[in-house]
Amino acid sequence: MASNEKSKKPQENYTDETLATAMSELMNTENYIIVDIGANLTNKKFTRDLDSVVSRAQDAGVHKIMVTGITVHSSKEALRLTCLFPGTLYSTAGVHPHEAKSWEDDTEEELRELLKNKEVVAVGECGLDFNRNFSPQEVQLEVFEKQVALACEVQKPLFIHERDAHAELLEVLGRYKSRLPAIVIHCFTGDAQQARTYLNMGAYIGLTGYVWKDKSEDGVRRILEDGIVPLDRLLVETDSPFMYPNTRASKLPPYVKEALTERSLTFLHRYCTFQRNEPCSLPVTIEMIAAYMKKKSEQVALQTTFNAMKVFGLST
């Protein structure tokens, strides 16, 4: 697919100079400044202690969190949460491919109304998942295309889920390439060539704690070690309560383990488990990514935050 400069357009008219100044001011702290671009805080696992979850995240350096919508109902709930934590929580509105079969005649209009709210900063989580096929593939394709068209209409970024449907996803996006807003490939777990294809079309790559798990010759570790994903196109997320970063795994290289700080590990091991990951674990993912990229963790935290604020138009 041809490169699409418009896909790199941020949601708001922020200039690099404005964001750089804001980020410089934020850096006058000993802690990281991180944005979690994807956390499922409407999940029932967070019902009883969301205040504590958000507070811990901020203590760990995760100052802004995007709450992911996967159905109309959860998108409405995600927006409700942003009202409880203004300036900290933002949300997305969309229908996940697993939920595509739930699309009804009024779904598109309900999403359109949600997207009128400034706190709702992206269309999604939407996309294609031909790995599990919880919804029929033809239904996934139809529902995804409707959301791509909606994102083009409202000019808010697309927050995309893709599993085993790379070619099909590109085909749908290709039909809208002259009108596409910014594109974020959420929780990327593909190979190096797929990453290059997404980058060539102007997309951003979102990475999670999955970086501990991948040991393939051509996967996420490779794209970091070989510099395939430039730092200015990288975003980070926890996908809480999923994607727990297992730093004790034997497959994690020693040099990566050595890069993990005691402070970040304390948040991870004290508050997070395989059953319930939290946004406060994100500093560990930052440090793993930085180790693979052979960069300072502070640099990765700062640049990914800059990217998120620019792409999603988050307030400073």
Reported as a single tens digit per residue, the pLDDT across 236-275 is 999 999 999 999 998 899 999 999 999 999 999 999 999 9
Q: What is the pTM of this model?
A: 0.91
Q: What is the pLDDT of residues 23-55, one digit of tens each?
A: 555 554 468 999 999 999 999 999 999 999 999
Residue 18 — very low, low, confident or very high, per pLDDT cuts 50/70/90?
low
Closest CA to 187 of 131, 141, 266, 117: 131
The reported pLDDT for the residue numbered 16 is 60
Question: To the nearest whole percent, how much of the chain has pLDDT over 70?
Answer: 91
Q: What is the DSSP string of 59-123?
A: HHTEEEEEEPP-SHHHHHHHHHHHHHSTTTEEEEE---GGGGGG--TTHHHHHHHHTTSTTEEEE
Mean pLDDT for the chain overall: 92
Distances, alpha carbon 262 to alpha carbons 55, 96, 234, 278, in Å: 19, 36, 25, 17
Residue 81 has pLDDT above 70, yes or no: yes
The answer to whether the bond into 241 is cis (omega within 30° of 0) is: yes
The reported pLDDT for the residue numbered 5 is 40
Q: Could you give the CA distance from residue 154 to residue 157 in angstroms, rounded to a whole number?
A: 9
DSSP classification of residue 279: G
Residue 3 has pLDDT above 90, yes or no: no
Answer whether 245's CB lies under 8 Å from 283's CB. no
Q: Could you give the CA distance from residue 254 to residue 252 in angstroms, rounded to a whole number?
A: 6
Q: Could you give the CA distance from residue 300 to residue 100 in angstroms, rounded to a whole number?
A: 35
Known binding-site residue numbers for a divalent metal cation? 125, 161, 186, 239
Known binding-site residue numbers? 125, 161, 186, 239
Answer whether 211's CB lies under 8 Å from 224's CB. yes
The reported pLDDT for the residue numbered 25 is 53
Residue 11 — very low, low, confident or very high, per pLDDT cuts 50/70/90?
very low
Rg (CA), the chain: 18
Structure tokens, 116: 């009128």
Q: Angle, to 10 degrees, between the axis of helix 282-293 and the axis of helix 50-60?
A: 30
Residue 134 has pLDDT above 70, yes or no: yes
